[in-house]
Amino acid sequence: MGGGREPANLGDILERVLDRGLVIAGDIRVNLLDIELLTIKLRLIIASVETARELGINWWESDPWLTSNHRELEEENRRLRDRVAELEDGGAGRREIRARPAETDDEPPARGRGRGRPDRSR
């Protein structure tokens, strides 16, 4: 359209033509669930989910447009707040201190052992 400022980037267009996550209408039966959209959007963002997480990019986890388990982020925030409180109380909470790989969070957060890799050894 004439008179525009910035050229429309793909993200701008997709945001509009995909609307709020519902891709398909009409009467051809195509059952695209949120998970496909998630994949689409993630591929737009970056090569892989893992890479994104390593870069600290996990905004989609809190985007209800994309996922219903945004409580994961809330859970992580809560854990971090707990840790801060424990440490300020004198470091009693060291057993809690372990990086939890974020990709395990489909299931309810099982505190403590989880995947149990002794990572963060540096």
Partner 1 sequence: MAQDCAVWVYAVAGRIEDDWLDAVPGVDGAPVRAVAAAGLAAAMTSVSLDEFGEGPLRRHLEDLSWLDTTARAHHRVIEIIARHGSVVPMRLATIFHDDSSVADMLTQRRDRFTAVLHQVAGRVEWGVKVYAAGQDSVPARPVAARAGDAQHAAPGATASPGAAYLRRRRAALSATQDNRRAAQASADAVHAALGSLATAAQLRPPQAPQLSGEAARMMLNAAYLVAQDRSPEFAAAADRLAGQHPAVRLELTGPWPPYSFAAVDLGEAARDRTPT
Contact stretch for partner 1 (CB under 8 A) within 26-34, 67-75, 107-115: 26-34
* Residues 23 and 31 sit within 8 Å (Cβ to Cβ): no
Please, what is the angle between helix 34-45 and helix 10-17, to 10°?
170
Task: For residue 38, state whether it binds partner 1 (rule: CB under 8 A).
Answer: no
Residues 6-25 that bind partner 1 (CB under 8 A): 6, 8-19, 22-25
Which residues, in sequence order, are CB contacts of 104 under 8 Å at separation 6+?
114, 115
Closest approach, Cβ 43 to partner 1, in A, equals 5
* Residues 103 and 49 sit within 8 Å (Cβ to Cβ): yes
Question: What residue ranges bind partner 1 (CB under 8 A)?
Answer: 1, 3-6, 8-19, 22-32, 36, 39-41, 43-46, 55-57, 59-60, 63, 65, 80, 83-84, 87-88, 90-94, 97-100, 120
